[in-house]
Chain A
Amino acid sequence: MQTRARILIPLLAAGLAAAACTGGGGTAAPTPATSQAGSPPAQGNAGALPRNETLYTTGTQWGPPANFNPIREWDSATGTKGLVYETLFHYDPNAGKLVPWIAESGSWTDDKTYEAKIRQGVTWADGKPLTAKDVAFSYGLGKMETVPFHNMWDWLENVEAVDDQTVRFSFSEANYQEWDFNLYSRVIVPEHVWSGRSEEDVLNGVNENPVGSGAYKYQSHDQDRVVWVKRDDWWGKTALGMEPKPKYIVDVANPSNEVAMGMLLQKGLDLSNNFMPGVANLINGNFGITSYYDEPPYMLSANTAWLVPNTTKKPMDDPAFRKALATSVDVKKIVEGVYGNLVKAASPTGLLPQWDQFVDQAVVSSDGFTFNTDEAKKMLADAGYRDRDGDGLVENKDGSKISLTIEVPTGWTDWMEAARVISSSGKAAGIEITPEFPDFNALVEKRGKGNFDLVINNERQLSSSPWTYYDYMFQLPIRKVQNTTNFGRYENKEAWELVQQLDKVKTDDVEGMKEVISKIQKIHMDDMPIIPLWYNGLWAQASNATWKNWPSAAEGAPKHAPAMWRNWMELGGFETLTQLQPAAG
């Protein structure tokens, strides 16, 4: 008997191991088929991508590449928009100008008509030419109700291809600022591939083997990566005179911070767009890792983190209380203590440094706020919030207790620390604020429905116009669920009218924009519906081991935004790729 048992165990092991091996083979098999269909990589090298021609990036994709559908801007694989599908224009945040891309030029022929000239010689990856018809078709997709940019059709009346090279957009209401934003945000898809698709396919299709006009095309993907390969016949080489340098781009699904840092040090990653606490030590040390600035704040600013008070609740419905709250927050402690100087404290207006010219310094100095605990105490007292029961914390005007919660998603460690700082500096001024860390989805739900006291939010990114920020702050009407804007449910008709007025100022009329913005800023400073905290960085740490000439503040270096993030390819991410140089030779 014992001999049988003894033979049995190794046999079992062998059997199971064999099963595991065949299992592995079964799933591995289909992938080469697709990759061979894509393009034959360096065959002599047993399929390995040559290191010196490959760019490894991470920081965008929070899970397996889900789809290659550019309409799904929020969860399509990194590079679907930007590398494969392109937009009419790009936007250069440094120059503050639209950069012609698929469109050669574009202009308003009258107050409500915009005409874009499409470049000649732009081709799709399948060889067919890209014409004005494709552009008209792509913008026309927005007529479908479930397409995320459907709201554009509230003020856009008609799109037509006048001839092969000209597209004419007619508007019922000309929202110039919003339109510029759309010009570099909406992808152009090929009509000959997409025209047969149903609304469901447009919104939910996987769009395997995407056919785009961009410089890269799909090669392969797996649970933790997506691989793009350069198109040798990309139209931009001649028309734009630029060429992205890496032959292959491998975007790695976000690993944990430790792994990302390890890979960067092992030179397995070239560009990491993750937030890495303490990365300053790597940049200052001799590790071959660079960021935009070589001193604080190290990173460019990408968006503003706001403290959003729920203005429908007491006492946050009182502007005086909100101003006192803003004055009580020790942002410096967050910048230094939580972020180790990787971020910058925000201006009282919250406008990003790239929009400095729109900040009305007169309004800021007369109505702005700065951190000052004593001042906050005085403001509370003046507004009638006094400490009646002697616990060091103020009560409502009617004597009831004030007990606020500040909520940030659990696991967002930097924000959790920041919430603790806000809580303690609030207490120092006499406002009781308790930090709470719910699950992200639970928080999203509460935030949308307005069941919260205070949250931190940074969902609006740098864009072509501060209008996007003011739209985020003041948008009306308040709906049952606030999904993207005005989470604090702040109602101010005058402010919203000004924001709409700003939208209708032509984008080259900087003085006109400043005039309206100054009025909006006055309302913002006086009413404080939303409190700017700090500028979140455009997290980007790059390794110089394989690719050099990364964007930096240093003289002679490119000044683009080094980001593979969603919607950042058009803001300089793609241009960064064209400026890279191989480190060796």
Chain B
Amino acid sequence: MRQYFGRKLFIYGLTFVAAVTVNWVIPRFMPGDPVASMLARARVSQPEAVEAMRVYYTNLFGFDEPIWQQYLNFWGALFRGDFGISIYVFPVPVTDLIMGAVPYTLGLMIPAVLLSYWVGNRFGAFAARRKLLDNTVLPVGYVLTATPYMWLAVLLAWGFGVVAGWFPIAGGYSFSLTPSWSWTFFVDLLHHWALPFLSLFLVALGGWAIGMRNMIIYELESDYSNYLAALGAPAKLIRRYAYRNAILPQITGLALQLGVLVAGALVTEIVFSYPGIGSLILKAIQNQDFFLLQGSFMFIVIGVLVANFIIDIVYVLIDPRTRTGMAGAQA
């Protein structure tokens, strides 16, 4: 067991170092100089003033140090939880910006991932080998899973938001409210959350349902199912065994899907102007805000790694063979 987790942790650690490095390198290879564009926006023309401001900001953001020193500083700051000061939302610390956006992104992602996974698997398993359902669920599932996130999001926003007017189309909560611990605010929050959630949920749902349906059919046709049937076991029991076997690849799928889902959530946030990490990343790229970009990506990298680690643990818990294998390796 220890060896298994040790190996996993080592791999995650390695991934982390690589991700941090890439994350640090990429903004610095983007064309253009953030300080120069900051000065250009300030509309300063006097050469003395420009020079004074340039020196000041270059110093402030640490761009005057040698590149390797900047890299080391980045690691040092990372462990202090300090992502620097945002260039474009100057002078707000990046950490503040991210902490303001994270609740929205998590509030969208976690329910969407878990609910779509749970409902999708249940539904797929239920639909398999039931002709009427199979004929409806399968095509709908295919359409849903092939739908790009933003397209579905735009359709939902247009249909339920603009045309029907049932849902708001922008913001995390009404522009007329200030956050408070009140019922009104909570309902308003949910109201704004519904459409972005739905668009993520529906797309993911289709994939899980189809995957599960196919797995169940495969399992129901395997030898052990036939054997059970021949012994006279009730169909319900056979299905339960099939489900347990079919869920394993789905969990692996979940780990693989997480990255895609994160990307989907980012696009969805932009469509709905939802004030999460996605909107932040878009603005950071548009404004060449190194520090905000790094901070946001760091958050996503850490999030995906942690989620994958949790899935590894879950895997051990639900698949007896993994545990047997580990016990064997230890012995």
| Chain A positions near chain B (C-beta within 8 angstroms) | 1-2, 4-5, 8-10, 12-13, 16-17, 19-21, 23-29, 31-32, 35, 41, 46-51, 54, 56, 62-64, 66-67, 72-75, 145-148, 150-151, 154, 200, 203-206, 219-220, 222-225, 227, 250, 252, 255-256, 258-259, 262-263, 265-266, 268, 411, 438-445, 448, 459, 475, 479-481, 483-485
Contact = CB atoms under 8 A, between A and B. Distances in A.
A20 B110 contact: yes
Interface string B259-283: 0000000000011110100011001
Contact of B32 (A28, A145, A444): A444
A265 B158 CA distance: 11
28 contacts: A1-B320, A12-B114, A17-B114, A32-B179, A46-B184, A47-B177, A47-B185, A48-B184, A49-B176, A62-B283, A62-B287, A63-B88, A66-B88, A147-B49, A148-B44, A154-B46, A205-B91, A223-B172, A223-B275, A225-B171, A252-B175, A256-B273, A262-B158, A266-B162, A441-B31, A445-B31, A483-B44, A484-B45
Range for the number of chain B residues in contact with chain A: 35 or more
Given A64-B89, A145-B49, A1 B318 contact: yes
Contacts of B244: 2
Interface string B277-296: 00110010011100000000
Contact of B169 (A4, A28, A35, A266): A266
Given A2-B244, A20-B107, A46-B184, A35 B36 contact: no
A256 B270 contact: yes
Interface centre among B103, B111, B115, B184, by most A CB within 10 Å? B103
B168 interface: yes
Interface in B71-121: 86, 88-92, 97, 99-104, 106-107, 110-111, 114-115, 118
A255 to B, nearest CB: 4
Given A47-B185, A151-B49, A483-B45, 15 more contacts: A9-B314, A16-B110, A28-B181, A46-B185, A49-B177, A75-B88, A204-B90, A206-B92, A223-B101, A268-B168, A439-B288, A442-B31, A442-B32, A479-B47, A480-B47
Contacts of B273: 224, 255-256, 259
A441 B37 contact: yes
Interface string B307-331: 0001000100110100000000000
Interface stretch (B50-58, B140-148, B196-204, B221-229): B50-58
Nearest to B97: A64
B176 A206 contact: no
A491 B168 CA distance: 54
A579 B298 CA distance: 49
B30 interface: yes
B31 A151 contact: no
B275 to A, nearest CB: 4
Contacts of A227: 178
A440 B286 contact: yes
B301 interface: no
B102 A23 contact: yes
A121 to B, nearest CB: 32
Contacts of A439: 30-32, 288
Contacts of A154: 46
B37 A151 contact: no
Contacts of B99: 26-27
Contacts of B111: 17, 20
A10 B119 CA distance: 12
Contacts of B10: none
Nearest to A443: B32
Secondary structure dominating the interface of A: mixed
Contacts of A46: 180, 182-185
Contacts of A204: 90-91
Contact of A483 (B39, B115, B162, B283): B39
Contacts of B314: 5, 8-9, 12
B194 interface: no
Contacts of B32: 439-445
Contacts of A32: 178-181
B43 interface: yes
Nearest to B39: A483
Given A225-B175, A479-B47, A5 B91 contact: no
Nearest to A267: B165
B45 A151 contact: yes
B300 to A, nearest CB: 16
B318 A151 contact: no
B184 A438 contact: no
A146 B52 contact: yes
A23 B31 contact: no
A313 B33 CA distance: 24
A148 B43 contact: yes
B174 interface: yes
Contacts of A67: 90-92
B41 interface: yes
A265 B157 CA distance: 13
B42 interface: yes
B178 A41 contact: yes
Given A31-B178, A151-B45, A12 B37 contact: no
Contacts of B34: 441
B31 A483 contact: no
B174 A48 contact: yes
Given A1-B320, A66-B92, A47 B182 contact: yes
Interface in B186-221: 189
B36 A444 contact: yes
Interface centre among B32, B172, B189, by most A CB within 10 Å? B32
Nearest to B307: A16
Contacts of B50: 481, 483
A228 to B, nearest CB: 13
A38 B154 CA distance: 37
B283 A63 contact: yes
- 3 tightest A-B CB contacts, nearest first: A441-B32, A442-B31, A24-B103
A266 B160 CA distance: 12
B91 A206 contact: yes
A218 B243 CA distance: 58
Nearest to A24: B103
A475 B45 contact: yes
A203 B44 CA distance: 13
Nearest to A51: B176
A64 to B, nearest CB: 5
Contacts of B169: 259, 262-263, 266
A389 B266 CA distance: 52
Interface centre among B34, B114, B175, by most A CB within 10 Å? B175
A145 B52 contact: yes
B150 to A, nearest CB: 11
Given A31-B179, A266-B161, A481-B50, A63 B168 contact: no
Contact of A224 (B52, B172, B178): B172
A13 B48 CA distance: 58
Nearest to A56: B175
Contacts of B181: 25, 28-29, 32
B282 to A, nearest CB: 10
B170 interface: yes
Nearest to A263: B170
A195 B247 CA distance: 68
B322 to A, nearest CB: 12
A17 B283 CA distance: 28
A440 B34 CA distance: 11
Contacts of B91: 66-67, 204-206
B36 A75 contact: no
Contacts of B104: 24
B176 A441 contact: no
B64 to A, nearest CB: 17
B256 interface: no
Contacts of A4: 317
Contacts of B92: 64, 66-67, 206
A24 B107 contact: yes
